[in-house]
Structure 1
Amino acid sequence: MMKLQIKLKKSLIGRKPNQVKTAHALGLKKINQIVVIEPNDALMGMVKTIGHLIEVQEVE
């Protein structure tokens, strides 16, 4: 199955509260932290919300 590797590239300081909560819900709290998730509709919506703060790659 395809998985997504998500890396937090920019700081959460000064961001809107919903963006900070979304990043924390994905498991991202520190810059350069990486999480690997299996995509579904809910998670893809979260990725879209903070797309300007993260870097996304496909992994197997």
Structure 2
Amino acid sequence: MATIKVKQIKSKIGYPKDQKATLQALGLRKISQVVEVEDTPSARGMIRKVHHLVTVVD
């Protein structure tokens, strides 16, 4: 299955608990950390939820 690379670009400090939990579920803990997640509708929904904290890289 295809994958998406997601990079955390902003700190989670000061954001709601559900957004912090979403970053944790994606596997992101540090700024500039890049993780590879499967391209599923649920993963896309998580990325959309925290779109202001992450970016999709090539």
**TM-score, length-normalised on structure 2?**
0.91
Partner SS for 1:30 = coil
Percent of pairs identical after alignment?
38
1:11-60 deviation line (CA, Å, top 9, x unaligned): 000111110000000000110111011110111100000001001024xx
Q: CA deviation at 1:2?
A: 3.2
- The total of aligned residue pairs comes to 58
Q: Distance in 2 between matches of 1:27 and 1:4?
A: 13
Moved over 3 A (4+): none
Q: Residue 13 of structure 1 aligns with which residue?
A: 13
The TM-score normalised by the length of structure 1 is 0.88
Please, which runs of 5 or more residues in structure 1 have no aligned partner? none
* CA RMSD, 1 decimal: 1.1
